[in-house]
Each structure stands twice: as C-alpha cells, then as structure tokens.
Structure 1
Amino acid sequence: MNLRLIEPIHKGIGSTENSQKEFPAVGLEFGVLGPLEVNMNGRGLTVGGPRQRAVLSALLLSFNQVVSFDALIEKVWNGRPPSTARTQVAICIATLRKIFRTAGLDRETIITATPGYMLSLTGHSLDSLRFEQLVARATELTAENRPAPAADALRQALALWRGPALGGVYAPFAETEAARLDEQRMLAVEQLTALRLQLGEHQSVLGELQALVGACPLRDRLRYYLMLAQYRSGRRAEALTTFRDGMRHSIEEIGLELGTDLQALHDSILRDEFPQLDVPGIAVQQRDRQQTVPTQLPESDAYFIGRSREQWLMDDVLLDGSAQNHSPIAYITGSPGIGKTSLAVNWAHRTAHRFPDGQLFADLREGDTLGVLHRFLRQLGAEGPLPTEPADAAERYRGMLEGRRVLIVLDHASSYTQVRHLLPTSGGCCVLITGRANLDELMQKYRALRLRVAPLSDDESRETLTSVLRDARAEESPEATSRLAGLCGHTPLALRAAAARLLTKTHWRVLDLVRRLERSGDRLAELSIGDDSLRARLDRSMRELDPRVASAYRELSRLDDTDFDAAQAAQVLGTDLLEAEDLIETLVDAQLLEAVGRGGAWGEMRYRWQELVRLHALHCLTAATPCGAALTD
C-alpha cells in the first residue's frame, strides 16, 4: 500500500490543531513515522549516510534493548557484510554520539552493552512509541463507551505521522518495519472512522472515506464504513454502487467475493432497514476488554543504573516463550541490597507492552501462597467464591491464564514450595522470580534462567552516586567518589544511603564522608537509613539461618583475607574439613558468601566475603547480643 496516496485524507481525519503542544519535547525527539529525523530543542540534527541511518533505525526499533554487533551487521548489510563491518558499525556509533554531543546533549544516549549497543530512551521521545500509547488509550476509552475522547486520542496519534514510515532508510529490515507501522496507521484510521460514525458524523466523513476506499479498494472495513455513511446521509443508490464496485474489484483482483459483513449490510440497505452501527472493530474491542487486564507492577526504581548484560540475557530467554513447552522463567538472586527487585521491576516496566493481557506482582513475604492466588484470581477477573485449597486455586488460576500473555513477578521467594502453585502452564506467559534461596527444584523441573546479580562496576557506582546526589560534588572529586563507592561495596542500597547523607549535608564534600566512613567503627550504621537499610536486610537474612550456620557466619568474619578456603575456615570454626565445607556452602546458597573459583596446588575451592556483609557478621560476633538471636529458639 502506498500511503502517500492518502496523505491529504490523513490530515483531515487524524489531525488536531493543538496535539503537538500537549507533549513538550524533552531531550532528543526521534521520529520514524515519516522520514527518519532527530530533533533537539526544535532544531533538526543531520544524520548523514545510509549506514548511519540504518544503524540508528535499528537501535530505535529496539529501544532500551541491547542490539548485538552481529544483529546490527545483519540489518545493515542484509547477510553480505564486508570484512570491515564491525569497524564500520563502531564508526557509525561514534559519529552518532558526536552528533548528539555537538547538539548539546550532556549524557550518553547510545550505551555500549555486551554484546553490542543499546539506545536508552530515558529523557527522550520517540513518535512511534507515543503513537502506540495513544492508540492503546483510545482502545481503552472505546471499551468504556467513551467515543468522543477515544476519537480525540486517535486524532493526536495520527497527527504524529509525517509520511511513510522510516523514509530515507534503505534496508530490508526497515522496509519490513515500515510496512508494520503503516498497517498500524491504517488500523487507527479505520478505528477513528468507526468512532466518528458512532458519533453521528456521517456526512462530514463521506469525502474522506471515498478517497480512502479509492486508495485502498481491498480494505473491506473501509468500504463497509463508506456504505453505512452514504446510506445514513440519504445516498442509498450510492451505497449500493459502492458495494457493486467493491464486488467487481475483489473478484478481478483476488478472485473472491466481498465478506459476509459487507453482504449483510448490502442486504439491509436493499430492504431499506436502517442498520444500527455494527462496526466489527468496536464490537471486538469491547468483547476483548471484558477480560480484566491487571497492571500490578510497583513503581519503577528512579535510580536504577546498569545491569545491561542481565537485561540482555532476560530479553533473549524470556521474550521468546513460544519455543518452550512451559512459560519462560528467570530467577534473579544475589546478596541483600544488591538490587534484585529493582532489576526485575525495571525489566518488567520496560517490556510490559509485550504482555498486553496484564502484569501481576506479589511480594511473597506478605502472605501465603493461597492468599497470593486469591489476589491474582481477583485481579484476573474471577468472581464468586474462590477455592480454599492451594491446588484447586492454582488450577483455576492456570485456567484463567490459558491463552493470555501475562507477566508474573514473584518477589522475595524463599522456597520452591512457595512458588510452584504460582507458575503458569501457558506458554504465552512469563515469570520473574527474585530471592536468595537456591530453589534447586525450580532449576530441576524448569529450564529457568538463573541470574546472580553482582555488585555494580566502578562506573555504575559513580553514576548511582551522581544521580541521587544531583549536584557537582561527585564529578568534582572523581577519586574520592571512587573511594566512596568501594567503601559502599558497590552495593546499590549502600550507595544510595551514602548519597542521601551527602544530600542532607550540603556543606560536606565527598571526601568528608569518605574519611568519616574510614574512621568509623561501625560503617554499616553510617550507611543505614530507614527501616529497610542494608543492615536491616542483613539482620533478616541472619535470622533466617539455622543457629549452627548463623554461628559459622559470625565466626568466619574473623577471616578478613581477600579470600579463603575450607581448611582455613575449619581452623576458625573448630570443625573438620567436611563440616566446614557444608557450613560454607550453606552460606553461599544464602548469598552471604561468594565462591570465587579454585586455587592452590590442590585446587581447593576458595570463597570470599563482600566487605559490608563481613562487617555485619563481625558486628554480630562482637555484639553483646548476637544479631538474630531472638529468632533462634
């Protein structure tokens, strides 16, 4: 379909005079709904060269997701890359970054992320994303029987179009994506036309519909709307002629008669039955919306930084559940305060559009499995009495998920028993689980992705401190900022606490806090703010340990070497080697120690503390009342 033919019609049906004023520009404004363009502060940026435009388009079409080098090469050269392809892609990326910096952008938009690059849309805008959001809003308003605001939303959506999508990008992947976007545009035009008919605008829409049907003679729905508008405008003969022209065109072009909806409308017009508006598009949307669509995700972490590798792995495994017998599952684990929940919730928000039937979230510390099932069932639209046995409730829950594409986030899981009834059987769903337990049964029964979240890198730690602090102190003293990140163990929760202290102490330099932490006899106390501090989380972890393991946790804090082996641990614990290994491995499973590989002549496994965790264990060892003692009876 050549949408250039219906440009004038689009301006009539889909424009709104003030639509652009409602959404002020922020950062870079990327446009793909027409010729590819980039604007900043109302000024167009020149993105020259076909390869640069192809690379930028590929990144924009997968915004906030990592696109590998290999994928970029495939898209740009369509399977026939030169030997210098990787170098040329790197040059394109460097040139795009320079264009953005020269325009005055002071933050990186195209991020290097293994195994390629990611275009972060944070602080920027993309017209195709805004188009999808407005169309989705219009669908919701239509389902609520609010045709006037639904039509306004669609006018705003269509006003974003400037011509055929991705103009000036000459690559097969761009042509495929442009065809998809152009089809979405036509569907929005059809939806808006149906709403205008529902609002009684039969005569005003006539001219536009005639041009649309002329440009797209095989779109039955447009022909249906034109016949209905003609009949309701007192043009019965013209409506019948429109049907005959369509029948002739359909038989000549594809060898098929017109569809049953059009034939039924034709028969009603012949009998002079004033047909009620029975628009397939609206009717289907209202039936579909009878299914409740839960949106239960908590607010995304405002200071989420990094984790590009983890997100790339999650994208790769979780967003293609169709190839698996069971719903894809990822289990995110790591030490307390390391950012497991932040990663899960951030990824869930970023990919929520891939799960149109809803997102469910449960903090498993706040109720038993049956209670969670009951809540999920209600959110999915279950009515009447609910099953009182977990197995029965799980069966109904899985039945309601059948055929839907829902994202389920289960936070703070402590055992497989806790999550097994909450796992769907529908391949269209996806499950994210966070926790510190080993969940061996989950790994045994499902092909789950297990991600252990590590401390942040030095660069990510500095970025976290800068983003929370919101002034120049972190950037003015990079060496002190790096020392502060190290004293925080590169742990997000501790880094934010440190930045919060500096935020309230505006007269402190970063170096002042560094010196304070280095002198303090209780660094964790300095880095603990509020009831959900790192110390509080480590205390909870301690209380969950078996008393014998908790004792080993405290005693092993005497080992302040970079790493240690089971023989050193056995000496400190006063046990034999096998028992020491068992105790250490239990602490590794609880994410309180790290296994760091083998070393020495005998190749024995070596283990390591995260520094802040060791300081907590040491504090418990020296405290008058050991941490967690209240719950060991």
Structure 2
Amino acid sequence: MLLLHPGNVVSVDALVEAVWNGRPPATARTQVAICIAALRKRFKAEGCDDEVILTTHPGYVLALDHHYLDVTEFDQLVADAQDAVRRQCPADAAALYEEALGLWQGPALAGVAGTQVEDEIQRLEELRLATYDSFVEVQLELGHHREIIPGLVSVVRDHPLRERSRHALMLAQYRVGRRAEAMETFREGWEQSVEGLGLEPGPELQELHTAILQDDPGLVTPATTVPKAPSAERRMPMELPADVPDFVGRGPQLAALGRLVSDDEDAHTPLSVGLVTGPAGAGKSGLAIHWAHRVAERFPDGLLFADLGPQQEHQEPPTADAVLGRFLSSLGVPATEIPSVPAERVALYRSVLAGRRVLIVLDNAQTFEQIRSLIPGGSRCCVLVTSRGELEQLLIRHGAVRIGVDALPVQEAVSLLGRVIGAARVDDARQDAVQLVELCDRLPLTIRVAAARLAAKPHWPIGYLVSRLTPEQSRLDELSVAGTQMRSAFALSYRALSPDAALLYRRLGLLEAPDFAAWVGAALLDRDLAGTEKLIDQLIAAQLLAVAGFDGTGEPRYRFRTLSRLYAKELAHQQESVRDRRAALSRAFDGWRALAEHARRAERCAPDPLAQGTVPGGPADAALYGRLARHPSNWLRAERQALISVIDQAARHGMDRVSEALATLMLDRPEACVTGVRPPQAPAA
C-alpha cells in the first residue's frame, strides 16, 4: 500500500482496510505498527541510512528521497517517450518505451492479495500493455517490423481480444512479406471475437484486412517516417585495445560473460549489460578486453571502447559528454552534426545505435552517473562495464550481470608467471615461484610486473626477486616499474573516500593482524561502533578491504590484501604523527586485552562485574561483551592469530603491559566450567 502511494500519506485505517478487507481483528492497528517496525528494521539491515517510512498523521508515508521505485521510473520514461512522439522523434520514443518496458520483471505485485491491490494489479497490467502497444507503433514507424513480430505473437496469444495488438501484428507480418500469416491472424481474431463476444471485429481491424486483400500501397511504410540518417557513410568502429597476451584462467567469469550474448540475433531480448568488479590489479580490464575479442564477430556493426578513468594521477576522468562526441564520430556522424546540448547528443547516440548490433566496453567507470548516458536504448547492443565500485544503480536500472574478479588461484598465478618468463625457469624453482606470486597478492597486474623484471634480467634467479620483495617497506617500490605504479592504482580508490573512511583506512594499515572485527576500527578511531561499520562498508565498496568471514560469535571479520595494507601503512606514516599512530594502536591493543580477559573469565564462569562493556580500555559496546560471553572459546579461536600478532607488535612498540598480559592469557589453560558442578580433582601423585 505504501509503494502504491509513494510520497503520499496512507492512513492507518486505510492500511487496516486493505489488509483485512473490512474484517479486521481487535489488534489490527497494533499489528500494523509491528509490521512498520519490521519493515524499518529490514531497510536498515539492507543499508538504508535514511528513514524510508516516515510517521505522519494519520498514518505513514514512503519517502522516495535518494531511493529508486520502478513504478515512478516507468511513469517518467513513458511520459518522456510520449513527449518524443509529439516532437516527431520516433527513435528516441522507441528507446524510452523499451527502457520503460525493461523495468518489468514479471507480473506486478505477484503473490499479493487484497481487493485494493488486485485492482491496482489490473491497472498496472493495462498500463503495461498500452505502453507496449505505443512502443510497437513507433517501431512500425521506424520500419522495425521483423524485430517486433515475436513479441506481438506472444501478446496476441495471451490477450486474443486486444485488437490494437492484433492490428499491429497483421501490419508487421504483411510488411515483411508474410501476407498469408497476416490473413490467418485476422481469421483467428474474427473467430474469437464472434464466438466469445458475439461481435464482429472493430472497423480498424476490418479495414486493415480489406487493405491487405487489395495490397493497398498505403500499407507500405511512408518515406516521411524513416528517421534521418547521418550524412556520412555508416561506419563500423573497431576500437578495442590489443588482446591481453598470455591470458590465464578466469573460466567461471568468461562463462558468465558468455551469457550476455544471445544465440538468436533476431530475438527481441532486453539490453545485455555486464559489470566486472574487483580490486586494483585484479585484471578487470584484461578480462573485459579478452572476452570482447572472443565475441567480436558476434557484433557486425562495431566495437566501441572508452577508458573512463583518469589518464594521469590527479587528472579528472573524461566526461560522458566527451565520450559521446567521440562515439558519435566513430559511428559516422560528422562533427558538424553532433549536437552541443548534452540531452540532444544522448538522443542522437541512441538513435544512431537503434537497430545496430554493437558491443560497447566502458572501462574503469567511476560512478553510475558517468555511464548513464552511454548506455543505448536498443536491445541488440551489449554493454560491458568495469569498475572498482559496485555501481548498484547499474544492477537496479538495467539488470546488469555482476562478475567479480579477485586474486588468481595459486596454480593459475604460477602459470601466468611461466608464460611470461618461460615454463622451464618456473619448473626449476617452483617453490620460489609460488612464494613470488603470493608476495604479489596473486594479482595479474603485479605478477606481470614481477615477470617483466625477471624477463628483462634472465640472469636473476626467481629467489633473488623474492628476497627483494620480502621486506614490506620496499615491496611497492619493487612492483612499480615501466610506468606501472601500484601506488597510483590504490590512490585512485583512496581519493574517492570520505575523510573519515580515509582516516580509518590509514589506521587499519598500521595493524599486522591477519584479520579483525569492526570494533578494532572503532578503537583505532576512538568512535562508536555503528558509525565505524558504515566507514568499513565504504572501504569494502572501494575494494580496499575485503570480508574474511565470520567469527564464532557471528561477527563479520575483515582483512587486507597485503599490498593494500602496505599502501595504507605508508599513508599513515606520511600523514599522521607518531603520537597519533601510537595512541590509535594502544586503544586497539587494549581492546584486544580487555576482550581476551573477558573471554577467559567467561570460560571459567567466573563472576565479572565489568561484563556490561565497562572494562577499562575495552570497547564500549555492551552487546559485544554479551555475544562474547555466550561463545568465549569460539571468540578466542577466531582471534588466536590476531592476538599472537598483537603480542609481537605491542612488544616491538614498547607496550609491554599489553604484550605480557596477552601472552599470559594465551598460555593460560581454563578449567572446566559446568554450572553447579566443581571441576574434577586430579588424583593424588
């Protein structure tokens, strides 16, 4: 009910009426309030920071600020399409209608009952069919008769008494030379109308039937309706960069990308969009370009490519308007005919691509806004986007298929190294080769950099480069050669962070623990846990931090890829004072000590007057202590490696109190704890 009235207050009485159809229980208003609370909790759990459902007398309102609702988007697209029809821009109208219809993933409000909802279901379905009929009309005007026949056959089969759809199907069949099928379509409609309703078909359908029998010249597409073609020759751009040499692995990702291309090139399918995401150096661009070369022959009208990332450090990325201008030129539009107004440039781009089968690769996209206008309206095209961000709007609005890439498996990483420097050289020192790719985080970019160094110095044993990469303070320098700067790759993601997220990234880089929970970040910042978790989400979205799993208390744990941590550590040493760094580490180490002490006490069932989160130096989140108390041994197992690293790191920083306390706790063996039963006594010697 709230979704059906976005932005408007829906009273509690109206909600009660809709849910119980006039026969509400005595607790109806209370149940509505409980449902609203549950919905709000669900929205929060899904990451909606703003309130989605507001309480406004005499009920509630669904606030659409910063949120996307398919019905409102559909209405706006249809209105824009109707405006394009009035402006006599059928190609633009067709693209807008197609985008609107693409929002439908099945019947509206499927599975929801209730009189008011069912009435709305019928209204929305009628609106969808009317929009489809309008889409078909402009497609007929554009001469796309063959493309619309499969969809029309389905609509006429499901809605046999819908004469507007049957009229369009007959006309399309006639115009592609299928005159007999057009007559059969009329005959079937006549029988169903007469037998089902006792009525002859309407005058428009009968007039079309007569015109087809007479081969009326007026049935041919009028020349005035053909869209204006560019004055230059139709070009077939081939803009892909060279394929990646020695491409290795990525079988599942290539299989997922293969599903973007339909086997039936004449089928009327939605626009195919793929999104390749992953951290810096994971080979997103290489995967996209390699796949594009593999399927190039499936796109006879050309291949467009744009690198949307900044070409140099501190340089702004190219704008969508600039890329549109270049794409239009590549597609054969003379410079003098490329509009200067952005909206007109987008409309021309979509018009030129209408009916063409083009693959568009958009590499290193920064935001959805940067690529919004580069996505065509025609369904025969395919768009492949690479980005370090998640670009949720691309998934929501265009149903993009998300393909994640990360580090290569060890064997594939070693294989990549061998393809560059020679398999024999790797076989002679396989253990060193495994260690080398691990030092490179098993990322294709860094492995290629290391392999290039070895290829340029054939006298170097693999183990020698391993020895140069082993010291953390010099690893980023060793992996920055021939214009390939790993720091620059990380810097691009780092600059997009908010100031607080950037601070958290730097301070997390000071830790040597293999993984950690969110409370550690809160301790490093000396802030609350809830706010810190939102900052961690930013780091994950920027591919600077990864989820490592969950500990025994159900809390998520996070980890760095080694090179990302080294970059964060460098920034911390450059931008923060020794005092601030030491204070941050001290808070985190004290937190580990306090929680470990609490866990040991809980294992023994010892009374703990500080169990409500008031342990000196420990996290202030009481719920954390409660979860830990329920599963103390699980928590200690999950934190074992982190605690060992803290002991070592604290000792090296002169924090002996924390180091010694944790060492004692780690060596301490807890006694058995069974409520009401004393631990068994050891037998006398």
TM-score, normalisation: structure 2 = 0.47
> Is 1:369–1:390's contact at 8 Å kept on the other side of the alignment?
no
> Is 2:545–2:558's contact at 8 Å kept on the other side of the alignment?
yes
1:604 to 555, 567, 573: 555
CA distance 1:558–1:360, shift in 2 (3 Å): same
Pair 1:336-2:280 in alignment = yes
- Alignment partner, residue 160 of structure 1: none
2:344 to 379, 392, 411: 392
**How far, CA to CA, are the matches of 2:519 and 2:390 in structure 1?**
24
**How big is the shift at 1:332?**
0.7
- Alignment partner, residue 303 of structure 2: 359
Pair 1:472-2:424 in alignment = yes
Superposed CA offset, 1:176-225 (max 9, x none): xxxxxxxxxxxxxxxxxxxxxxxxxxxxxxxxxxxxxxxxxxxxxxxxxx
**How big is the shift at 1:300?**
1.1
Superposed CA offset, 1:216-267 (max 9, x none): xxxxxxxxxxxxxxxxxxxxxxxxxxxxxxxxxxxxxxxxxxxxxxxxxxxx
CA distance 1:581–1:323, shift in 2 (3 Å): farther
**How big is the shift at 1:621?**
1.2
**How big is the shift at 1:324?**
6.9
**How far, CA to CA, are the matches of 1:494 and 1:579 in structure 2?**
34
Partner of 1:463, secondary structure, is: helix
**How big is the shift at 1:290?**
4.5
2:259 to 309, 316, 340: 316
**How far, CA to CA, are the matches of 1:425 and 1:370 in structure 2?**
17
Partner of 1:545, secondary structure, is: coil
> Is 1:493–1:533's contact at 8 Å kept on the other side of the alignment?
no
- Alignment partner, residue 326 of structure 1: 270
Superposed CA offset, 1:407-454 (max 9, x none): 000011111111111101111100000111221211111111111211
**How big is the shift at 1:516?**
2.1
**How big is the shift at 1:291?**
2.2
- Alignment partner, residue 524 of structure 1: 476
**How far, CA to CA, are the matches of 2:437 and 2:484 in structure 1?**
20
Partner of 1:332, secondary structure, is: strand
Pair 1:422-2:378 in alignment = no
- Alignment partner, residue 321 of structure 2: 370
Alignment of 1:471-550 (within 5 A): 472-519=424-471, 521-550=473-502
**How big is the shift at 1:294?**
0.7
CA distance 1:557–1:625, shift in 2 (3 Å): closer
Alignment of 1:146-545 (within 5 A): 290-319=233-262, 326-365=270-309, 366-383=317-334, 384-470=336-422, 472-519=424-471, 521-545=473-497
Q: Which residue type is aligned with residue 303 of structure 1? A: D
CA distance 1:520–1:507, shift in 2 (3 Å): farther
Q: Which residue type is aligned with residue 375 of structure 1? A: R
**How far, CA to CA, are the matches of 1:534 and 1:385 in structure 2?**
42
**How big is the shift at 1:520?**
5.1
Q: Which residue type is aligned with residue 327 of structure 2? A: F
Q: Percent identity?
A: 39
**How big is the shift at 1:318?**
3.6
Partner of 2:364, secondary structure, is: strand
Q: Which residue type is aligned with residue 294 of structure 1? A: P
Q: Which residue type is aligned with residue 422 of structure 2? A: R
Pair 1:614-2:557 in alignment = no
CA distance 1:294–1:457, shift in 2 (3 Å): same
**How far, CA to CA, are the matches of 2:403 and 2:527 in structure 1?**
33
**How far, CA to CA, are the matches of 2:471 and 2:522 in structure 1?**
32
**How big is the shift at 1:386?**
1.1
2:504 to 538, 552, 556: 552
Partner of 1:317, secondary structure, is: coil
Partner of 1:521, secondary structure, is: helix
**How far, CA to CA, are the matches of 2:366 and 2:476 in structure 1?**
25
**How big is the shift at 1:338?**
0.9
> Is 2:440–2:447's contact at 8 Å kept on the other side of the alignment?
yes
> Is 1:360–1:409's contact at 8 Å kept on the other side of the alignment?
yes
> Is 1:390–1:421's contact at 8 Å kept on the other side of the alignment?
no
**How big is the shift at 1:532?**
2.9
Structure of greater relative contact order (alpha carbons < 8 Å, 6+ residues apart): 1
Q: Which residue type is aligned with residue 405 of structure 1? A: R
TM-score, normalisation: structure 1 = 0.51
- Alignment partner, residue 224 of structure 1: none
Partner of 1:431, secondary structure, is: strand
**How big is the shift at 1:460?**
1.1
**How big is the shift at 1:624?**
5.8
**How big is the shift at 1:353?**
0.4
Q: Which residue type is aligned with residue 623 of structure 1? A: Q
**How far, CA to CA, are the matches of 1:409 and 1:484 in structure 2?**
32
- Alignment partner, residue 109 of structure 2: none
Alignment of 1:114-125 (within 5 A): none
Partner of 1:335, secondary structure, is: coil
**How far, CA to CA, are the matches of 1:334 and 1:453 in structure 2?**
5
Partner of 1:410, secondary structure, is: strand
**How big is the shift at 1:481?**
0.5
CA distance 1:540–1:402, shift in 2 (3 Å): same
**How big is the shift at 1:382?**
1.1
- Alignment partner, residue 193 of structure 1: none
CA distance 1:466–1:528, shift in 2 (3 Å): same
**How far, CA to CA, are the matches of 2:569 and 2:532 in structure 1?**
18
Aligned length: 338
Q: Which residue type is aligned with residue 372 of structure 1? A: V
Q: Which residue type is aligned with residue 297 of structure 1? A: L
**How far, CA to CA, are the matches of 1:614 and 1:471 in structure 2?**
31
> Is 2:521–2:532's contact at 8 Å kept on the other side of the alignment?
yes
Alignment of 1:56-135 (within 5 A): none
**How far, CA to CA, are the matches of 2:568 and 2:349 in structure 1?**
42
CA distance 1:502–1:342, shift in 2 (3 Å): same
Q: Which sections of structure 2, spanning at least 5 residues, go unmatched?
A: 1-231, 310-316, 578-685
- Alignment partner, residue 154 of structure 1: none
Partner of 2:360, secondary structure, is: strand
**How far, CA to CA, are the matches of 2:410 and 2:275 in structure 1?**
25
Q: Which residue type is aligned with residue 612 of structure 1? A: L
1:623 to 574, 583, 586: 574
**How far, CA to CA, are the matches of 2:296 and 2:308 in structure 1?**
21
Say which is worse superposed, 464-473 or 415-424, in terms of deviation. 464-473
**How far, CA to CA, are the matches of 1:325 and 1:573 in structure 2?**
50
Partner of 2:524, secondary structure, is: helix
**How big is the shift at 1:466?**
1.0
Structure 1 runs, 4 residues or longer, greater than 6 Å off = 321-324
**How far, CA to CA, are the matches of 2:412 and 2:381 in structure 1?**
32
Q: Which residue type is aligned with residue 487 of structure 2? A: R
**How big is the shift at 1:323?**
6.6
Q: Which residue type is aligned with residue 258 of structure 2? A: D
CA distance 1:608–1:322, shift in 2 (3 Å): farther
**How big is the shift at 1:606?**
1.8
CA distance 1:323–1:550, shift in 2 (3 Å): farther
Q: Which sections of structure 1, spanning at least 5 residues, go unmatched?
A: 1-288, 627-633
> Is 1:318–1:430's contact at 8 Å kept on the other side of the alignment?
yes
